[in-house]
Structure 1
Amino acid sequence: MRRAKAMLCLLLLPEAALAHAGHDHAEAPGWTLAPSVTLPLAITLLLYGVGFARLWARARRGRRAMRRDALLFGLGWLVLTASLVSPLHEAGERSFTVHMIEHELIMLVATLLLATAGAGSMLLWGLPAAARRAFGRLVHARSIAAGWGALSSPWVATALQAAALWLWHAPALFDRALASEGWHVAQHLSFIVTSLLFWWTIARADARGSAGVAAFCLLITACVGAALGGLMALSSSPWYAGYAAMGMTPLGLTPEEDQQLAGLIMWIPGGIVHMGAALVILYRWLKPGEERHAVSAE
């Protein structure tokens, strides 16, 4: 639990300055290189690198697992960075479809990789010794431990991610996020936080033998995304005034077509990832029983 709490807290602290700083609406989308975006990403990577080097020097066993986790973390960090820094980010300000691709990369790819990378120890060991001890005392405080205990259930994590997804795609909140940098930051942070928590609890439930719970929560999440994406895809009028006011998108789509394509992207890739993960978990859960049955039949 200490490792997991450290991973989530340390990983999310630098993200507070991420998301939607330093962009404009020029003709060609550019890279988002504002320090408020790039510095937190760089600090996160630096902390991980220092922590990895320190633990690698101390390790006598488990270096293979360390390499695997470092690869997962590196891939997740690259996807998150590409989503927030590359021209995809600015293009999402002018096209709901591109914006949806950015969100899906964050919630389906980046946070999945980061949550399963076991990065807590690396990030913690990247801190100076005094800060490491202070952080350890903080995460073991009674109030923090009680709050974490309430949040670390797959059922709670599933509900929180579903709530964030539906609430932020309500027209009033989404239009406010498009118009206000602060609200846009809050939107992206809520997606990052809830999806990190969701994927971590799913991985933990699977590792602890609660594969049925993990698979069911993945099924619920697939249905939640499919319902919202389906409503967007089947709607004949745009939901968001911010995008509707822009008219034709750079992709050559009307606001209605742009929203419908965005809905399909939420509906189909999201469903594939969540259902695929559920099938993998169920397969691993059932495989030992099938192997025992085959042995007994011989």
Structure 2
Amino acid sequence: MGTLLYWLDPWEPSPTVVIAVLVAGILFARGARHARVPVGRRIAFWFGLTALYVALHTRLDYFFEHEFFMHRLQHLVLHHLGPFLIALSYPGAALRAGIPFAWRRRWLLPAMQTRVARMFFDIVFNPVIAVTLFVGLIYFWLLSPIHFKAMLDYRLYRVMNWSMVIDGLLFWWLILDPRPAPPARLAPGRRTLVVIAAIPPQIILGAYIFFTPHELYPIYSICGRAFTWITPMRDQQIGGLLLWIPGSMMSVIGALIALRHWMRLSARSRLRKEREAEKSARHEGRPGRRIQTCGMPSSSCTPDDGSKPNAP
């Protein structure tokens, strides 16, 4: 027990991490009872949230700061695994249900309907921008001068980590949405193509880091390595492999899940109904109707995965 508490003790305490994780956990726990979230989705959410907390706020952070391959393992969790599991749980309905109704009506809905909010989501959920941000952030933080500064300045270090978490949540939320479009931002086929487009750049960067014959990130040698028995080049090669293979494989798994949603919706004729509704709307000269998956307002809907809608 003492050993577990030792490892759970944060290397650099951050109130932001604690508050964000507690708020997300409380909202999901409250809302899951009303939204009737299946056990499998609950497990995915809690595993994803726990993974983010462990990667951000435990003693492991010391190793993330003093070994390149451990840093890559951290970002694999922050950018891929944690957000992937949370998005796979489709927590939107539960999180909304966890917010008191009066707060939703007075604060959440008006905020989401503002022009700024609509523009923000239109931009970040644009397929080209989404895949560019997802891959571009990996490249940006691995540029040698940028990485050097980020590992020395704790403020920039936290910005780096949070940018990976937020971008990962937005990207996987877009890709793993099980609904047809609308209400989903992208049609299932486009979601599959977007995540496939993210695979080659990760492979190229991982291979470059692995095969480079000189040390790309000397900051770890300057500040002292956590594992002195691993040579700098070996450390760099392992880090490159983590980006090359597990990172790319997560995208492959995401593509397979998006493809599964596409096939499921097609088998249920949901895609055909989408096209017919849009065609009818254009023929009548009016905007296309937003198709909900549960016959209720969008704020009350749950994903089209067999779960029940929110309670009033």
TM-score range normalised by the length of the shorter chain: 0.7 to 0.9
TM-score, structure 2 length as denominator? 0.73
Residue in structure 1 matching 2:99, options 127, 148, 152: 127
Would you say the 8 A contact 2:45–2:91 is kept in 1? Answer: yes
> Which residue does 2:56 correspond to in 1?
84
Would you say the 8 A contact 1:91–1:99 is kept in 2? Answer: yes
Distance 1:99 1:263 in 2: 11
Distance 1:270 1:142 in 2: 35
Query: Could you tell me how far 1:177 is from its partner in structure 2?
Result: 0.9
> Which residue does 1:219 correspond to in 2?
196
Letter in 2 for 1:203: L
Alpha carbons of structure 1 residues 130 and 211: separation in structure 2 relative to 1, 3 Å: closer
> Which residue does 2:143 correspond to in 1?
170
TM-score, structure 1 length as denominator? 0.76
Matched, 1:42 2:19: no
Alpha carbons of structure 1 residues 247 and 144: separation in structure 2 relative to 1, 3 Å: closer
Query: Could you tell me how far 1:205 is from its partner in structure 2?
Result: 7.7
> Which residue does 1:183 correspond to in 2?
156
Distance 1:83 1:29 in 2: 11
Letter in 2 for 1:146: M
Would you say the 8 A contact 1:115–1:200 is kept in 2? Answer: yes
> Which residue does 2:215 correspond to in 1?
238
> Which residue does 1:109 correspond to in 2?
81
Matched, 1:157 2:138: no
Distance 2:179 2:110 in 1: 29
Would you say the 8 A contact 2:180–2:265 is kept in 1? Answer: no
The 10-residue stretch of structure 1 (214-223 or 163-172) with the greater mean CA deviation from structure 2: 214-223
In structure 1, list runs of 5 or more residues that go unmatched: 1-27, 57-62, 291-298
Cα deviation, 1:214-240, whole Å, max 9, x if unaligned, reads 222222211111111111101111212
Tell me, what secondary structure is at the counterpart of 2:164? helix
Distance 1:234 1:49 in 2: 46
The 10-residue stretch of structure 1 (137-146 or 118-127) with the greater mean CA deviation from structure 2: 118-127
Alpha carbons of structure 1 residues 244 and 236: separation in structure 2 relative to 1, 3 Å: farther
Tell me, what secondary structure is at the counterpart of 2:65? coil
Aligned positions, number: 257
Query: Could you tell me how far 1:283 is from its partner in structure 2?
Result: 5.5
Query: Could you tell me how far 1:68 is from its partner in structure 2?
Result: 3.8
> Which residue does 1:74 correspond to in 2?
46
Cα deviation, 1:144-192, whole Å, max 9, x if unaligned, reads 1122122222322111111111111111111111001110111011111
Letter in 2 for 1:232: I
Tell me, what secondary structure is at the counterpart of 1:32? coil
Q: Considering fraction of residues, name the structure with more helix.
A: 1
Would you say the 8 A contact 2:203–2:244 is kept in 1? Answer: yes
Query: Could you tell me how far 1:249 is from its partner in structure 2?
Result: 4.4
The 10-residue stretch of structure 1 (211-220 or 225-234) with the greater mean CA deviation from structure 2: 211-220
In structure 2, list runs of 5 or more residues that go unmatched: 1-5, 268-312
Would you say the 8 A contact 2:207–2:240 is kept in 1? Answer: yes
Alpha carbons of structure 1 residues 149 and 85: separation in structure 2 relative to 1, 3 Å: same
Letter in 2 for 1:110: G
Cα deviation, 1:276-297, whole Å, max 9, x if unaligned, reads 332444466468989xxxxxxx
